[in-house]
Amino acid sequence: MEELFLSLVQLVVAIVLTTVSAGLVFVQPEERGVVISAVAPKGYREVALLPGLHWVIPFAENVVLYPISRQTYTMSIAPTEGQILGDDSVEARTSDGQQVRIDASVIYAIELDQVVQLHIEWQNRYSDDLVRPVSRGIIRDAASQYGVEELVTSKRVALIEYIDTQLRSKLAENGIQLVEFVLRNIAFTDEYSASVEQKQIAEQLAQQAALTVEQKRQEAEQARQEAKGKADAQVLAAKGRAESRVIEAKAEAEALGLIAAALRDNPEVLTFEYIQKLAPGIQVMLVPSNAPYLLPLPSFSSTPAPAPQ
């Protein structure tokens, strides 16, 4: 009898402990708990459980935990980088009819005060059934507004801003906060990539030809400047020589004028100069018989004639 009593006590204690443990729920700091209740009027508690240890009615209530930390949904062309294996990039068509594949990531978090409503509308399907299709639709719509060249050049920032604005608004309507939209890559078809490469090669060749033309032009300009410099130098040299000749001619003319004036005033100077030019030991001079004497003949006496004053 006593053994039976002890067994009943142990059974009751086990039931109580099991019931108590079934009613205790611990919520992690990065989580919120939605209480599904069989006794609540709406079938759930309207306020989510905050981090910590909580008590719920055993077997009448259960808790669904939702992460409130940031989550990332990646749609990648790389087979192992996204949430779905294989190529999961967003296929879109630009305004000029070109097909592109956009590789992107959506970083988001559940709004703290919208956890219960998110559970009611989406449960744990919000990632695959909300974030994924909404993001892909907005990305396709954004890509269709720009030309293919604009997507990778002048309109890339505008594309990102448009997607960010539209996606932020759409997710907010469903209790999700967009943290950041990341445009990872834009890939083109093989045909378009080949045409872009050919265009780049042609542009490079054109740039090289332009550089060659400019180099030749600079060389021609340099040669022209050198020739001009030489011509200017020759002109300056010729001008210098001419001016030098003019100065010399003026000097000679002035000298001749002085000599003429001296001879006019002192005619004996010419005779003196003539005598000075004769050899010191000359005694005889022969002149033609029919030639007049230009100068008076000097006297050849032993006593030298005095020099004219």
Residue ranges covered by each domain of the chain: 13-67, 71-188
The pLDDT confidence band at residue 83, using thresholds 50, 70 and 90, is confident
The Cα–Cα gap between 62 and 23 comes to: 8
Q: Is the model more confident about 111 or about 188? A: 111
Please write the tens of the pLDDT for every residue from 278-299.
656 666 555 555 655 555 555 5
Task: Report the alpha-carbon distance of residue 182 to residue 193 in Å, rounded.
Answer: 23
Residue 151 in this model has a pLDDT that exceeds 80: yes
Higher pLDDT, 46 or 234: 46
Taking the C-alpha atoms of residue 147 and residue 7, their distance in angstroms, rounded to an integer, is 80
Please give the single-letter amino acid code of residue 122: W
Residue 272: pLDDT over 80 = no
Q: What is the mean pLDDT of residues 106-123?
A: 96
- Bigger pLDDT: 11 or 247? 247
> Tokens 């332009």 correspond to what residue?
210
Longest Cα pair distance anywhere in the chain, in angstroms? 196
pLDDT tens profile 1-25 = 667 666 666 666 656 556 656 678 9
Q: In sequence order, what are the residues at sequence separation of 6 or more whose Cβ sits closer than 8 angstroms to the Cβ of residue 3?
A: none
Work out the mean pLDDT of the chain and round it to a whole number. 82
How far is CA 86 from each of CA 72, 77, 80, rounded to the nearest angstrom? Answer: 17, 7, 7
Instruction: Read off the pLDDT band of 300 (50, 70, 90).
Output: very low
DSSP summary character for residue 123: G
C-alpha distances in angstroms, 138 versus 21, 155, 237, 275, 299? 47, 16, 80, 123, 135
Of residues 66 and 254, more confidently modeled: 66
Assign domain 71-188 to its CATH architecture. Answer: 2-Layer Sandwich (3.30)
Q: How far is CA 106 from CA 79, 122, 256, in A?
A: 18, 18, 107
Q: Which residue's entry shows tokens 């294989």? A: 86
**Interval 187-204: pLDDT, tens:** 888 777 666 657 666 677
Bridge partners, residue 63, by sequence: 35
DSSP codes of every residue in 134-197: HHHHHHHHHHTTS-HHHHHTTTHHHHHHHHHHHHHHHHHTTTEEEEEEEEEEEEE-HHHHHHHH
- Where residue 46 falls among pLDDT bands split at 50, 70, 90? very high
52-64 per-position pLDDT tens digit: 999 898 888 999 9
Counts for the chain of helices (H) and strands (E), in that order: 8, 8
Alpha carbon 28 to chain centroid, angstroms? 47
Q: What is the pLDDT of residue 117?
A: 95
